[in-house]
Amino acid sequence: MSYAVKEIFKTLQGEGAQMGRAAVFCRFAGCNLWSGREADRASSVCTFCDTDFVGIDGTSGGRFPDAESLADAIATEWAGPSANRYVVLTGGEPLLQVDDALVSALHARAFEIGVETNGTQVAPVGLDWICVSPKADATLVLQSGHELKLVYPQESARPEQFEHLAFNHFFLQPMDSPTAAANLEATITYCTDNPRWRLSLQSHKMIGIR
C-alpha cells in the first residue's frame, strides 16, 4: 500500500514516559475522528487537537508508494548511527495506515517503533511502544499497551474509566486551551490525589522545539 505522510522530522520526544529521547517523528495524514472539513473541526469528536495532520505538504512529507520508500525516508532523517534508533508514528491517526510491511521495514533498519494513537484502531503486531490517548465519545478498541496518556479534563473521558486497563504507565496531560492554567492546576490536583496517574507536560513547547 502507499502511505500519505504530512511530515517527517527529527527531534526529542516531548511527552510521556519517553520524554527527552531522540526520535524521528513520522506524522501520517488524516484522522478518523475528524470529517476532513475545516469547518467541522469544532464539532468533531476530538475538538482540542493541536497538530496539523491535513495534507502531505509538511517537512519531508508526501505520498510514499511502499513501505521500503517510507522507511528509507525515515532512516535518512535520522542521519546518524544505527544504535538507539527510535521512530514515533503519529498523526492524525497513524493506525489507519501503519501495517505489517512498514513495521518490518523499520525493524530492518534497526528502528525501535513507537506509535501514538487514539486507540480506535487495531494495532499491527511488532510495535515496540504503544501510547494510547483516548478521546471522549470514541470507542476504545486498543485497551492494552505501554502508556495511556489522557488529555485532561474531558468531561466524557474521566481517568477512572481507564485505570483498569492493561497499560504500564498512566499519564494525565493538561489540555492546551484558553483555560490551560486552570487545566494544569486541575491535573496536578488529580495526580496528587490519585497517584496511579502521573503528570505529563508538553516539554517541547516549553523549550521551543518541534
Domain with residue 177: its CATH number is: 3.20.20.70
Active site residue: 7, 26, 28, 46, which one? 46
Looking at residue 141, its pLDDT comes to 98
Catalytic residue, candidates 49, 77, 131, 147: 49
131 is known as an active-site residue: no
Identify the active-site residue in 7, 26, 31, 187.
31
pLDDT of residue 34: 74
- pLDDT in the model for residue 151: 97
- Give the DSSP letter string of 70-120: HHHHHHHHH-S-STT-EEEEESS-GGGT--HHHHHHHHHTT-EEEEEE-S-
> In the prediction, which pLDDT does 35 show?
54
In the residue annotation, 50 being an active-site residue is answered as yes
Query: By residue range, what is the domain housing residue 25?
Result: 3-207
CA distance 52 to 155: 24
How many domains does one find in the chain?
1
**Going by C-beta distance under 8 Å and a sequence separation of 6 or more, which residues neighbour residue 173?**
15, 16, 149, 150, 151, 152, 187, 199, 200, 201, 202
Is 46 tagged catalytic?
A: yes
User: Could you report the per-residue pLDDT of 32-72, keeping only the tens digit for each?
Assistant: 997 554 444 444 455 666 667 889 999 999 999 999 999 99
Known catalytic residue at 191? no
Do residues 77 and 85 make contact, with C-beta atoms less than 8 angstroms apart? no
Confidence (pLDDT) at 37 = 46
What is the rounded CA–CA span in Å between residue 101 and residue 108? 11
Taking 70 as the pLDDT cut, the residues of the chain under it are 35-51
Instruction: Give me 91's grid cell.
Output: 498523526
Residue from 40, 50, 100, 185 carrying the catalytic annotation: 50
Whole-number pLDDT of residue 191: 98
The phi and psi torsions of 132 (rounded to 5 degrees) equal: -110, 130
